[in-house]
């Protein structure tokens, strides 16, 4: 890859285009090669300018960002980072499912007045997107059928059943649609509770829980401190708190405001380490697509405690950072395509050994 990242900034607001251009110009490794104010203009300039990354607003005249997105990723190698409103997470998740690499939240009332604050957030997103190989933009979208479409027919509610296994899942960049694929292959009949750490900005936890609930009969809930774990239920860590588990026969969620790990809170490592301590050989760790190495240390803790560990493979990951770190360290017992992850979880939660 070249040393300079070429960026096309797309937004119908002249002020937002100016703010983003100024923010990105603070990094000598990024060059804004153009701007656009409509979806039609975005498609045309993506085709002629061939940017590495496009920042694409969702709400625009002529064509919305959602409508322009498929045209951009089909006709160019550009990775697309959506500009999302915090009060419209469903549209943001839809964009990720269509092939957008990531998103930047536009605060109510516009971007922060502090240029340095804006630059830090946006530059990180742009550089993360640039590291995605163009062919991996479609890694999740192109998974159809196979194991990911499994549906149970004898599902039961989780209430009253003892938790025999805890499945701890970690994801970051590309994670929301990947989690949908995984949960579409699971049902509430397994004697397992599910803990989910997905790196997201504030305001997106509840919408992720709702979205995952639509793919399965497993209730997916935003986690609250003191919640009792129930078999056949899932819990999403809220923004700003690490999610831990305490106890075994009467296991409960604990939310912890300890410092960030890997620059994020919640982080997967503390969650997985707590699951390993309390559930040992009945722990199942899963690391999905994402930048960085969060989850590798936690997966190793589960492996050392006798539990099962699973990492998504490179070909189906949007970013093979977190699962790659787990695989390279030897912490993952099974490295499998995304469409096989739910099958590995089902096998492990039924106490079946082998691949």
**Residues marked as catalytic:** 172, 199, 294
Q: Which CA distances in Å does 140 have to 285, 307, 313?
A: 20, 27, 12
Instruction: Name 165's Cβ contacts closer than 8 Å, sequence gap at least 6.
Output: 190, 191, 192, 193, 279, 282, 283, 284, 348, 349
Instruction: Name 219's Cβ contacts closer than 8 Å, sequence gap at least 6.
Output: 158, 188, 213, 232, 233, 234
Q: Which CA distances in Å does 213 have to 153, 181, 205?
A: 16, 12, 12
Q: Which two tokens stand for residue 278?
A: 């309390």
Judged by phi (left if over 0) then psi (alpha if -120 to 50, else beta), residue 186 lies in beta
CA distance 310 to 226: 28
CA distance 202 to 270: 20
The answer to whether 52 and 70 have CB atoms below 8 angstroms apart is no
């Amino acid at each position: 890859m070249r040393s300079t990242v070429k960026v096309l900034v797309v937004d119908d607001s002249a002020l937002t285009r100016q703010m983003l251009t100024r923010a990105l110009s603070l990094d000598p490794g990024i060059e804004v090669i153009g701007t656009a104010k409509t979806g039609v203009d975005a498609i045309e300039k993506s085709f002629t300018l061939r940017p590495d990354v496009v920042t694409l607003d969702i709400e625009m005249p002529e064509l919305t960002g959602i409508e322009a997105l498929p045209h951009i990723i089909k006709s160019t190698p550009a990775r697309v980072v959506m500009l999302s409103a915090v009060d419209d997470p469903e549209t943001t998740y839809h964009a990720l499912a269509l092939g957008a690499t990531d998103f930047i939240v536009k605060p109510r009332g516009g971007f922060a007045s502090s240029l340095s604050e804006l630059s830090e957030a946006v530059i990180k997103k742009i550089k993360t997107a640039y590291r995605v190989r163009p062919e991996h933009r479609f890694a999740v979208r192109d998974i159809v059928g196979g194991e990911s479409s499994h549906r149970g027919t004898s599902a039961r509610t989780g209430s009253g059943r003892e938790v025999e296994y805890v499945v701890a899942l970690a994801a970051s960049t590309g994670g929301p649609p990947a989690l949908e694929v995984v949960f579409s292959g699971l049902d509430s009949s397994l004697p397992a509770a599910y803990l989910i750490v997905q790196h997201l900005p504030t305001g997106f936890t509840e919408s992720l829980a709702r979205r995952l609930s639509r793919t399965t009969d497993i209730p997916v809930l935003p986690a609250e401190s003191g919640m009792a774990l129930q078999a056949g239920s899932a819990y999403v860590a809220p923004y700003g708190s690490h999610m831990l588990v305490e106890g075994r026969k009467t296991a409960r969620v604990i939310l912890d405001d300890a410092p960030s790990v890997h620059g994020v809170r919640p982080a997967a490592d503390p969650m997985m380490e707590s699951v390993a301590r309390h559930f040992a050989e009945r722990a199942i760790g899963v690391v999905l697509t994402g930048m960085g190495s969060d989850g590798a240390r936690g997966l190793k803790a589960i492996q050392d405690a006798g539990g099962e560990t699973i990492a998504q493979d490179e070909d189906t990951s949007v970013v093979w950072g977190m699962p790659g770190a787990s695989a390279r360290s030897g912490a993952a017992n099974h490295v499998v395509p995304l469409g096989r992850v739910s099958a590995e979880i089902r096998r492990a939660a039924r106490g079946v050994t082998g691949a």
